[in-house]
Structure 1
Amino acid sequence: MGNYKPVLCMVMLQGLYAGLALFTKAALMRGMSPRVFMVYRQIVATLLLAPLVSLSRWKKPNKVSLGLKGFALIFLNALIGLEKVNVGSLRGIAKIIGTIMCIGGAIVMGLVKGPTLLNSPQSSSSSSIAPQNLLLGCLFLFICCCCWSFWIIMQVPISTICPDHSYTTLWMCFLATIQSAIFAVSIDHTKSEAWLLTSHLEIGSCIYAGIVASLSFTLQTWCVSQRGPVFSAIFNPLATVITTIIATSFLHEELYIGSLIGGFTVIIGLYVVLWGKAKETNKVQETLKNHQRPTVELIIVDDSSDKIIHR
């Protein structure tokens, strides 16, 4: 069961991310400022983690050293030898093909529509997006994906130096609160009403987003320390599939043939990658067992010369 914990954890995280996307969309469509939303999200996450981290470190104190030199060396080592792929083996080919299928399926779900299968659109006003806004949004999403990938890679040296994942998550949320607050105030300083939460949906969305932030960053860091960054990152397209299912079933959003094909491609690709990772893990465990076989040392005492011979 222990081998399946990272998998179950990542699937649960993608479900939380799907709910976060839907709640965020609902709150922003009500007119809530996205910058204010991020500030409240980080504040809730910090307030939730602070007492838990303080209690855990009071019960079990440990020394944490974030030396810059040691961090840099471990980070470079993780960046260079992050994921080894043997293209000559079946498991290596499976990891490559599965990764391409996951990424390609997510792209198909986002960009390819095709005929509508369920929930025909009631009006076309909600889907009218200016081309410049669409291009700018795609650019921001690309930058976000790059930053997210860099963050996942950084968890390898951080987990090595500081194994307390909740402690590092607390500091990250606290610093993110300061940064997002400065950014929001600099832009929305003339809109004092933007900071007021006027509905239960806005309040609930901020609280849910803070809970997801505190849980997801901690669990994501733990999964990276257990299985590596590639294992954690490969589950991200699954959130798109879950979001599409929930939005189609409960929010009556349109389901296109492109979304269906892309969703199936993501699921199949994820299964192929996990199969390759499982085969690779079994191979490593077998190699370690072979190297850890006990050796017997034979000691012979030569009475005539008083020498001890080791064999």
Structure 2
Amino acid sequence: MESLKLKRLHGVLKASGILLCIAGVVILAFYEGPVIRSISNYHLLHTSVTAKQADGSKMKWILGVFLTTLAVFQWSLWTVLMGPMLEEYPSKILTATLQCIFTTIQSFFIALVLERDHSKWKLKFDMGLLAVLYCAIALSGISYYLQAWAIQLQGPVFLGMSMPLTLIFTIMLSSIILGEAISLGSVIGGILMVGGLYNVLWGKRIEESPEKDIIKEQNHDEEANLDKDTQMQTGTSRM
């Protein structure tokens, strides 16, 4: 779906942008570095992890990585398939609505299997209810519609390249709102991901510019030929 000509400038820019994004994610995941203190000392949530909980999380990190990788892989396939689907049926609202409905049904049955304690299903007027509303409105409804809009406008490549920015926004908001410390690896990784996204978009703009010029020239030639035909028909009718 995306051409990659390494002998042209736009191909080199797109390839380098992808490599920069990969490098940024790798550094963000495996390199921490010195800790940079947050400019905000306000903590919205106060949580403490016990030693038992920490040991349990270390035992299950392989399963967590596997499930996360599987989820990202399936999401990538979905974004690629959404491009041809929106060409055949361009209703973004209905697409987002159906996606939310089927996600709700699947999540309901998964929750029935994994969570047998029905007392935890009750919603209270606390931070948990705010988190549920935020996930339902922002992360599901609005984000699904915006993803469909971006794919219909620029294709799945633009959406895929912009997704690493969510990590950067999460780090920034965690530092400002929650007062969490930022590591040097997060800063370096964020800079590399932003640079990679800029290179890809720059390459796509250079690649699309000649195509737009060719289309304009073709339209201009068609209009000129149409005017000539009209003039010839007018002259023939007068004769």
Q: 1:118 touches 1:254 (CA, 8 Å); kept in 2?
A: yes
* Partner residue in 2 for 1:102: 21
Q: 1:156 touches 1:224 (CA, 8 Å); kept in 2?
A: yes
Partner secondary structure for residue 84 of structure 1: coil
* Partner residue in 2 for 1:90: 9
TM-score, structure 2 as length reference: 0.83
- 1:111 Cα deviation after fit: 2.4
- What is the CA RMSD across the aligned residues, in angstroms? 2.4
1:274 aligns with 2:193: no
- 1:257 Cα deviation after fit: 1.2
* Partner residue in 2 for 1:59: none
1:40-189, aligned counterparts within 5 Å? 82-118=1-37, 128=54, 130-188=57-115
- 1:249 Cα deviation after fit: 2.1
Deviations 1:212-260 (Å, cap 9, x if unpaired)? 1111111111110111100111001111111111112221222111111
Q: 1:103 touches 1:237 (CA, 8 Å); kept in 2?
A: no
Q: 1:106 touches 1:240 (CA, 8 Å); kept in 2?
A: no
- Paired residue type of 2:217: N
- Paired residue type of 1:107: V
Number of residue pairs the alignment of both structures matches:
217
Partner secondary structure for residue 32 of structure 2: coil
Counterpart-to-counterpart distance in 2, 1:178 and 1:128: 32
- 1:283 Cα deviation after fit: 2.1
Q: 1:101 touches 1:268 (CA, 8 Å); kept in 2?
A: yes
1:203 aligns with 2:122: no
Unaligned runs of 5+ in 1: 1-81, 302-311
- 1:292 Cα deviation after fit: 2.0
TM-score, structure 1 as length reference: 0.65
Structure with bigger RCO (C-alpha 8 Å, 6+ apart): 2
* Partner residue in 2 for 1:16: none
* Partner residue in 2 for 1:249: 176
1:206-225, aligned counterparts within 5 Å? 206-212=132-138, 213-225=140-152
Deviations 1:153-200 (Å, cap 9, x if unpaired)? 011121011111111111111111111111111222x31111012342
- Structure 1 pair 300–270 and aligned structure 2 pair: CA distance change class (3 A): closer
- Paired residue type of 1:192: H
Q: 1:105 touches 1:265 (CA, 8 Å); kept in 2?
A: yes
- Paired residue type of 1:284: E
- 1:300 Cα deviation after fit: 7.7
* Partner residue in 1 for 2:45: none
Deviations 1:98-134 (Å, cap 9, x if unpaired)? 1121222123112211222225xxx885894543322
Give the structure with the larger helix fraction: 2
Partner secondary structure for residue 204 of structure 1: helix
Counterpart-to-counterpart distance in 2, 1:271 and 1:109: 18
1:290 aligns with 2:217: yes
Counterpart-to-counterpart distance in 1, 2:131 and 2:179: 20
Counterpart-to-counterpart distance in 1, 2:146 and 2:161: 15
Counterpart-to-counterpart distance in 2, 1:98 and 1:300: 53
- 1:279 Cα deviation after fit: 1.3
- Paired residue type of 1:206: V
